[in-house]
């Protein structure tokens, strides 16, 4: 069964849950920026959670289904299409997403998952290395498996996104003026992509650079370069860095980061490692209810 790309939208890539295990080569994991939305969409279709799907950014594409399809959209909300609902596309029918009215990344999941070649065990596009398929272009034809039944509903909590982002302390948290950082709003700049999001707001660390020995950087790290403006490292992140890391987004809130748009204003809330773990386990419990 086929998907024909009538228009790719702003940036549309194939994503699954990524390829971990290549950090030693300097290659980060990639995978869906909003892994929660991908997993939920796949579960609604009866697919394996990590089946490959399309990740669209800010402006969705237009896709034709010459052989029909059962699809689900998750994550960001396109103006004219419902999310978190199974939809039957008749043979020849076209799905036109347009600009998103809320959120930054929308996933188009198809029953059976997209059949894309695997590189190092994953179909994900990793933009900084060129691993995986190139971003979609007009006229591309993708294949998918079809089949599968799918059932179930999504708990409402999994469809809501927040601009309050919970973090734990980062490795160099002692360099952070926490009274400033946790009391301030930070604006997402236009320099926000799968590698990282540059934020603008009150300087919360002295940003003494070159003092630190380069070390590995975790997904969701908030680092402070010399200009004092935070950079949040995301799924196509660099694997090491030399800037102080004052905080780290908790796993359960990484989907919230994926849905931030330029000019959104965020606040960070410090939680304990135990709270971070409880939040993740709670989220997993809800996913299992689908």
Partner 1 sequence: MFRYASDQALYFDRPPRETDLAALARIDGVVNLHPAYESTLIVFDPLRTTHEAVERAARLAATAEQRPGRHHTIPVFYDGPDLLAVAEHHSMAGERVIELHASAEYSVAFLGFVPGFAYLTGLPAALHTPRRAEPRQVVPAGALGIAGAQTGIYPRTTPGGWQLIGRTPVELFDPAGDPMSLLQPGDRVTFFPA
Contact residues for partner 1 (CB under 8 A)? Answer: 20-27, 29, 119-120, 126, 128-131, 168-171, 210, 213-221, 238-241, 248-251, 273, 276-277, 280-281, 284
Q: Ramachandran region of residue 31, left (φ > 0), alpha (ψ -120 to 50) or beta?
A: left
State in angstroms the smallest separation of the CB of 20 from partner 1. Answer: 4
Nearer to partner 1, 90 or 213 (CB): 213
Nearer to partner 1, 26 or 152 (CB): 26
Nearer to partner 1, 112 or 230 (CB): 230
State in angstroms the smallest separation of the CB of 174 from partner 1. Answer: 12
Q: Is 182 exposed, middle or buried (0-12, 13-18, 19+ CB in 10 A)?
A: middle
Nearer to partner 1, 79 or 134 (CB): 134
State in angstroms the smallest separation of the CB of 6 from partner 1. Answer: 29
State in angstroms the smallest separation of the CB of 145 from partner 1. Answer: 25
Nearer to partner 1, 82 or 216 (CB): 216
Compute the half-sphere exposure of residue 177: CA atoms within 13 Å on the CB side of its CA.
12
Nearer to partner 1, 27 or 192 (CB): 27
Angle at 12 between CA 53 and CA 115, to 5 degrees: 35
DSSP string across the chain: -EEEEEE--SSEEEESS---S-GGGT------SSHHHHHHHHHHTT--TT--EEEEESB--EEEETT-EEEEEEEEEESSS-SSS-EEEPTTEEEE--BEEEEEEEEEEETT-B----BTTB---BTTTTBSSPPP-TT-EEEB-----------GGGG---SEEEEEE-TTGGGB-HHHHTTS-EEEEEEESSSEEEEESS--B----SSSPPEE--TTEEE--TT---EEE-TT--SEE-S-EEEEE-GGGHHHHHT--TT-EEEEEE--HHHHHHHHHHHHHHHHT-
Give me the residues paired with residue 64 across strands.
Answer: 4, 94
Task: Give phi and psi for 7, each to the nearest 5.
Answer: -150, 130
Nearer to partner 1, 117 or 179 (CB): 117
State in angstroms the smallest separation of the CB of 176 from partner 1. Answer: 15
State in angstroms the smallest separation of the CB of 245 from partner 1. Answer: 8
State in angstroms the smallest separation of the CB of 270 from partner 1. Answer: 13
Nearer to partner 1, 29 or 194 (CB): 29
State in angstroms the smallest separation of the CB of 116 from partner 1. Answer: 15
């Amino acid at each position: 069964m086929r998907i024909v790309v009538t228009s790719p939208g702003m940036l549309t890539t194939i994503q699954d849950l990524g390829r971990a295990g290549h950090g030693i080569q300097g290659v980060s994991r990639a995978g869906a920026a909003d892994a929660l939305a991908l997993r939920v969409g796949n579960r609604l279709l009866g697919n394996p959670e990590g089946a490959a799907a399309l990740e669209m950014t800010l402006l969705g594409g237009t896709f034709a289904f010459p052989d029909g399809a059962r699809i689900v959209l998750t994550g960001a909300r396109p103006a004219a299409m419902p999310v978190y609902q199974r939809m039957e596309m008749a043979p020849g029918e076209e799905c036109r997403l347009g600009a998103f009215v809320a959120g930054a990344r929308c996933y188009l999941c198809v029953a059976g998952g997209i059949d894309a070649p695997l590189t190092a065990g994953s179909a994900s596009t990793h933009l900084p290395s060129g691993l995986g398929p190139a971003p979609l272009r007009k006229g591309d034809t993708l294949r998918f498996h079809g089949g599968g039944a799918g059932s179930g509903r999504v708990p409402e909590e999994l469809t809501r996104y927040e601009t309050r982002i919970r973090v734990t302390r980062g490795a160099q948290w002692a360099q952070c003026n926490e009274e400033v950082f946790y009391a301030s709003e930070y604006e997402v700049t236009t320099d926000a992509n799968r590698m990282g999001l540059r934020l603008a707001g009150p300087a919360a660390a002295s940003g003494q650079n070159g003092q630190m020995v380069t070390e590995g950087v975790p997904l969701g790290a908030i680092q402070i370069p010399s200009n004092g403006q935070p950079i949040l490292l995301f799924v196509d992140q660099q694997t090491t860095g030399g800037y102080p890391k004052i905080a780290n987004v908790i796993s359960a809130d990484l989907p919230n980061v994926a849905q931030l748009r330029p000019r959104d204003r965020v606040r960070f809330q410090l939680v304990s490692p135990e709270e971070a773990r409880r939040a993740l386990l709670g989220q997993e419990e809800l996913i299992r209810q689908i």
